């Protein structure tokens, strides 16, 4: 049995955050407000509730929890001290079993599809989606699966090293190819179809590698959420008949994270990642030196403990995107001064914080796709 989460009521939120973070080593996962704070350690989630704020918000007073005849009874008291409804463990267990059944059905559908393909070369970036796809494919097809990772100046070294380590651990044949996007005609000018140019060249290379290794198909890890954003790379997927198993079984990003956690994959809570070229405003020249600036800036923020982030580049200005829950951390004097100082050493003249926070594809917000 494993404890996945625990909720605690606390009186002094600031004091308890310091205790769990600085003394026990918990990571602040999400801090929506002063009433609810999410912390995580070794895969276990702790939710801290501010007792006073909670009671004011619900007009109830939390009293105690006790076990009773196979049920957990959570008693909340209102002005009349009437007992609230019971939580039925049998009902909870039934929901868990239903979820397990859904997971099994998805896994079976995906296994069936992969068996139909017979052999695949998977475009492997070491991200959440491609890691899950590679693991499932290798479990189903064994040596009929190879992983191909493209090495380039827009792909951080840390991601390449993680890709190597995963394939070595799982015993998967791993091929690294050179894919210098800046040599692709028109790519460096950063047109709106930049991703198409890159993916088309990449999948052609993986296709050639697949043929050399007697592999029938090329597969990639896009999911259903990718259908809702501007994704010119999917045009290359369609043109070159690249397979998309995760979209075939209609998996979303969150479902992939949930399944990855169930399988024990280390990437289940890994931050979402896209190639460094996606940090540039469309039309701004992409150069190796500017890519290096973005890479160094993002690595600094990761090393400082920020989780989901982007450093967008606008000429000599850096626009930092982090989760709103991490705004206060970024604006602490010591952190803010370090970030400004280091970013200027890297080459930025101005350092800004995007008040909307991190979001996927923010550079696409001004694009009209009709």
Looking only at the bridges linking them, the beta strands covering 27-31 and 36-41 are antiparallel
Average pLDDT, the chain: 83
Read off the pLDDT of each residue in 160-175 and give the average, rounded to a whole number: 97
pLDDT band of residue 96 (cuts 50, 70, 90) is: low
Say whether both 259 and 290 belong to one domain: no
User: What pLDDT does 77 receive?
Assistant: 40
Split into its structural domains, the chain has a count of 3
Cβ burial of 97 (10 Å; 0-12, 13-18, 19+) is: exposed
Q: What is the CATH number of the domain that holds 245?
A: 3.40.50.620
Say whether both 246 and 162 belong to one domain: yes
Dist. CA 342–CA 35, nearest whole Å: 34
Q: Within a domain: residue 100?
A: no
Say whether both 117 and 225 belong to one domain: yes
Read off the pLDDT of each residue in 51-76 and give the average, rounded to a whole number: 44
Say whether both 282 and 245 belong to one domain: no
Read off the pLDDT of each residue in 220-244 and give the average, rounded to a whole number: 89
Q: Within a domain: residue 370?
A: no
Segment of 64-73, 98-107, 140-149 carrying the highest mean pLDDT: 140-149
Both tokens of residue 266? 């280390």
Q: With 90 as the cut, is the pLDDT of residue 126 above it?
A: yes
Q: Within a domain: residue 271?
A: no
User: What pLDDT does 112 receive?
Assistant: 94
pLDDT band of residue 370 (cuts 50, 70, 90) is: very low
Say whether both 259 and 319 belong to one domain: no
Lowest mean pLDDT among 167-176, 301-310, 353-362: 353-362
Q: Within a domain: residue 104?
A: no
Q: Within a domain: residue 151?
A: yes
Neighbours of 348 (CB within 10 A): 22
User: What pLDDT does 271 receive?
Assistant: 87
Which of residues 224, 239, 263 is at a domain's end? 263
Q: With 70 as the cut, is the pLDDT of residue 5 above it?
A: no
Say whether both 120 and 259 belong to one domain: yes
Dist. CA 107–CA 87, nearest whole Å: 31
Q: Within a domain: residue 72?
A: yes
User: What pLDDT does 68 receive?
Assistant: 34
Say whether both 116 and 258 belong to one domain: yes
Read off the pLDDT of each residue in 139-160 and give the average, rounded to a whole number: 95
Lowest mean pLDDT among 10-14, 62-66, 122-126: 62-66
Q: Within a domain: residue 369?
A: no
Say whether both 249 and 308 belong to one domain: no
Range of the domain at 47: 5-87
User: What pLDDT does 359 receive?
Assistant: 87
Read off the pLDDT of each residue in 336-363 and give the average, rounded to a whole number: 93
- Quick check: 366 and 331 in contact, CB under 8 A? no
Q: Within a domain: residue 50?
A: yes
Q: What is the CATH number of the domain that holds 68?
A: 3.30.720.120
Say whether both 147 and 231 belong to one domain: yes
| Residue in this structure with the two tokens 């460094």, named with its chain if needed | 276
pLDDT band of residue 51 (cuts 50, 70, 90) is: low
Read off the pLDDT of each residue in 155-170 and give the average, rounded to a whole number: 95
Q: With 90 as the cut, is the pLDDT of residue 317 above it?
A: yes
User: What pLDDT does 99 receive?
Assistant: 63
Q: Quick one: what percent of the chain has pLDDT higher than 90?
A: 59
Dist. CA 177–CA 300, nearest whole Å: 27
User: What pLDDT does 62 receive?
Assistant: 45
pLDDT band of residue 26 (cuts 50, 70, 90) is: confident
User: What pLDDT does 37 receive?
Assistant: 72
Angle at 253 between CA 137 and CA 267, to 5 degrees: 65
Say whether both 82 and 128 belong to one domain: no
Cβ burial of 56 (10 Å; 0-12, 13-18, 19+) is: exposed
Segment of 74-83, 222-231, 251-260 carrying the highest mean pLDDT: 251-260
* Sheet containing 44-50: order of strands: 5-10, 44-50, 36-41, 27-31
Angle between helices 128-141 and 253-263 (to 10 degrees): 50
Say whether both 141 and 198 belong to one domain: yes
């Amino acid at each position: 049995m494993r404890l996945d989460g625990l909720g605690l009521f606390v009186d002094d939120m600031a004091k308890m955050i310091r205790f769990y973070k600085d003394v026990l080593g918990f990571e602040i996962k999400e801090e929506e407000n002063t009433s609810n704070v999410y912390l995580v350690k070794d895969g276990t989630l702790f939710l801290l509730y501010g007792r006073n704020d909670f009671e004011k918000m619900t007009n109830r007073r939390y009293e105690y929890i006790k076990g009773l005849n196979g049920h957990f009874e959570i008693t909340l008291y209102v002005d009349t001290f009437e007992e609230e409804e019971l939580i039925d463990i049998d009902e909870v267990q039934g929901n868990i079993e239903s979820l397990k059944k859904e997971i099994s059905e998805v896994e079976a559908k995906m296994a069936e599809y992969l068996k139909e393909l017979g052999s695949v070369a998977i475009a492997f970036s070491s991200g959440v989606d491609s890691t899950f796809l590679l693991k499932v494919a290798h479990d189903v097809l064994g040596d009929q699966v190879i992983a191909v990772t493209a090495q380039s100046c827009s792909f951080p070294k840390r991601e390449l090293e993680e890709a190597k380590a995963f394939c070595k651990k799982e015993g998967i044949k791993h091929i690294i190819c050179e894919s210098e996007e800046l040599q692709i005609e028109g790519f460096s000018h950063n047109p709106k179809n930049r991703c198409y140019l890159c993916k088309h060249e990449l999948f052609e290379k993986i296709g050639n590698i697949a043929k050399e290794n007697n592999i029938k198909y090329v597969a990639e890890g896009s999911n259903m959420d990718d259908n809702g954003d501007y994704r010119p790379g999917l045009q290359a997927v369609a043109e070159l008949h690249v397979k998309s198993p995760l979209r075939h079984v209609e998996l979303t990003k969150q479902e992939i994270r949930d399944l990855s956690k169930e399988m024990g994959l280390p990437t289940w809570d890994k931050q979402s990642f896209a190639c460094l070229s996606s940090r540039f405003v469309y039309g701004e020249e992409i150069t190796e030196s500017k890519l290096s600036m973005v890479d160094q800036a993002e690595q600094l923020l990761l090393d400082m403990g920020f989780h989901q982030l982007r450093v967008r580049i606008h000429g000599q200005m850096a626009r930092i995107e982090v989760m709103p829950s991490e705004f206060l951390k970024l604006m602490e004097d010591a952190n803010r001064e370090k970030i400004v100082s280091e970013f200027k050493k890297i080459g930025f003249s101005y350092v800004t914080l995007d008040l909307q926070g991190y979001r996927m594809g923010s550079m696409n917000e001004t694009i009209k796709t009709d």
